[in-house]
Amino acid sequence: MLVTVLLLLSAGVALLVLGVLMMRRGLWPRRRGDEPRCGTCDYNLTGITSNRCPECGSATAPENVVYGQRHRRPMPALAGAGMIAAAACALVLLLFPQVRRLIWSPTMVGSKPSMSSAELAELDRRFRQGGLSAPDRLRLVGRLLDPNHSLTADAPSCVKGYHLNGMLTSQEQQALFQEIARVGIEARPKIALGEPVFFRLCYVGPGLGPGRGEPEFWVRLEDLELSLGGVQLDMRGVDPRVDWATTRRSMVTLCAAAPSPPTAEPARTHRLTLAGKVKVFLGKRGQEQTSKLCYEGRASAWDRVRILPADVSGSIRPIRTPSQLQLRASLRRTEEITYRTDQARCWEIRPGRYVEVSSGELPVGVAFQVYVRFDDKEYPSGVCTASKFARLQGVLCGPLDYSGPLPKSVDVILRASKTAALQTTNVSDYWDGEIVIDNVAKTWSGVASRQERAL
């Protein structure tokens, strides 16, 4: 940014100097000729014998006499004046941001690739005070909600505030709800014929930020239908209803698998298409009775899946090298909803007890089923998956399928699982081994329960 400002400042100064030189050349050129002239009024003194100028009365002493005539040229003078004006305007706008914000046109919001917080605040002020035309208002709302071109992190929250304050027209509200209701689907890029079709449903609308006490928008997707290459998939084992909070973008909520159709043609890429009914509510997530229905429509999304022949090794392969992997584990407990970001996706972590896994850069992809062992019994605690060259940085696996009191230390088992590998979209080769981490201590944060304090 500093380099850009310095370059623009240098260009403005250079243009200003060039304009001054052009004006001087056009209005005050060098004298040409040898006739004497009055230095005061430029009167031709040829043949004058008096010691006074007959035009202005000035003395015709040698120091007051010039020789030659100036031939002024208007075109260089006009060009120089234009350069000076352009350079002056550019320097004022560059050096004084307040002036730039005052004269900045709101119609630039449709094409400007970025916008500073000050410029967004100026547009927000004009929107609230009615200083924008109807097309500019609609263009601003669409730009603020665009997830791919968000001007600042608080841009979608501005539109949410407009709606809560009753400042949006019906057309602007429709644009808001259509952006909020955007969903997406991700699937494994390759599966063998007969393997289940694993997919993730994601909320890809604009993240409207935390509530700060005001009502929240939340999205419900129901009546799900999934087809692969035009063939309907069996969705009986999939939750038919998904609820999303709109506080963050790229929220992954539903991870499920459906059996691949036996009629799918192998060695081809098919389109996995999702369709369903989407609703936008204002209120507390999941409480439809007490929330206000703002929008109802149809949602659709798709991804590409390549079907491999059934006689190949499948879409994933177990790998037995290296012989060992270095991972660390600990037990964590969350007492409120938190969020975890993983490869541009955001996961909601519910309250509960989890196994936290960390590692350096992985030389191979991993897909573990995680268990907690004590008293000669194993209790599942979710899965841990990562692609090759990834780093596990405090990945929470769980929640732990055990609600009773835990001993002071337990054993954590990371066991390779093809099922866990199939339930990912980015693991094709996974390490086929088992890691046992002994004597993992509890590292609860917050206040422990009464049973846990007694241990």
Task: Spell out the domain ranges in the chain.
Answer: 2-101, 102-180, 183-308, 317-454
Q: pLDDT band at 239, cuts 50/70/90?
A: confident
pLDDT of residue 446: 42
Of 148 and 380, the structure prediction assigns the larger pLDDT to 380
Q: How far apart are CA 250 and CA 343, in angstroms?
A: 10
How far from 66 is each of 29, 36, 62, 72, 240, CA to CA, in Å? Answer: 14, 6, 8, 17, 98
User: Between residues 166 and 12, which one has the greater pLDDT?
Assistant: 166
Segment 251-277 mean pLDDT = 76
Band (pLDDT 50/70/90 cuts) for residue 398 is confident
Whole-angstrom distance, CA of residue 138 vs CA of residue 170 = 11
Average pLDDT over residues 199-222: 80
pLDDT, tens only, 68-127: 877 777 788 888 888 888 888 777 766 665 445 444 554 455 555 566 666 777 778 888
Percentage with pLDDT > 70 across the chain = 81
Single-letter amino acid code for the residue at 438: D
Mean pLDDT for the stretch of residues 249-270: 70
Tell whether the model's pLDDT for residue 444 goes beyond 60: yes
Task: Check residue 448 and give its pLDDT.
Answer: 37
Q: Using one digit for the tens of pLDDT, what is the confidence trace for 334-364?
A: 877 666 666 556 667 778 899 999 999 999 9
Task: Show the 3-state SS of the chain.
Answer: CHHHHHHHHHHHHHHHHHHHHHHHHHHCCCCEEEEEEECCCCCECCCCCCCECCCCCCECCHHHEEEEECCCCHHHHHHHHHHHHHHHHHHHHHHCHHHHHHHCCHHHHHCCCCCCHHHHHHHHHHHHCCCCCHHHHHHHHHHHHCHHHCCCCCHHHHHHHHHHCCCCCHHHHHHHHHHHCCEEEEECCEEECCCEEEEEEEECCCCCCCCCCCCEEEEEEEEEEEEECCEECCCCCCCCEEEEECCCCCEEEEEEEEECCCCCCCCEEEEEEEEEEEEEEEECCCCCCCCEEEEEEEEEEEEEEEEECCCCCCCCEEECCCCCCCEEEEEEEECCCEEEEECCEEEEECCEEEEEEEECECCCEEEEEEEEEECCEEEEEEEEEECCCCECCCEEECCCCCCCCCCCEEEEEEEECHHHHHCCCCCCEEECCEEEEEEEEECCCCCCCHHHHHC
The token pair that represents 184 in the structure block: 């997406």
pLDDT of residue 229: 82
What confidence score (pLDDT) does residue 33 get?
A: 80
Whole-number CA gyration radius for the chain: 36
Among candidates 122, 83, 67, 65, which has minimal Cα distance to 99? 122
Report the distance separating Cα 399 and Cα 334, nearest Å.
10
Q: Which residue has the tokens 């190949």?
A: 312
Backbone angles phi, psi at 252, to 5 degrees: -100, 120
Check if CATH label 1.10.3470 holds for domain 183-308.
Answer: no
283-287, 325-329, 333-337, 397-401: lowest mean pLDDT where?
333-337
Q: Which of 69-73, 183-187, 411-415, 447-451 has the lowest mean pLDDT?
A: 447-451
State the pLDDT confidence band at 27, using cuts at 50, 70 and 90: confident
Least confidently predicted of 107-116, 361-370, 427-436: 107-116
Task: Determine contact, residues 96/104, Cβ cutoff 8 Å.
Answer: no
Q: Supply the pLDDT for residue 132.
A: 79
Average pLDDT over residues 164-183: 88
Residue 226: other Cβ atoms inside 10 A: 22
Task: Name residue 367's amino acid.
Answer: A
Q: What is the mean pLDDT of the chain?
A: 80
Q: How far apart are CA 44 and CA 205, in angstroms?
A: 81
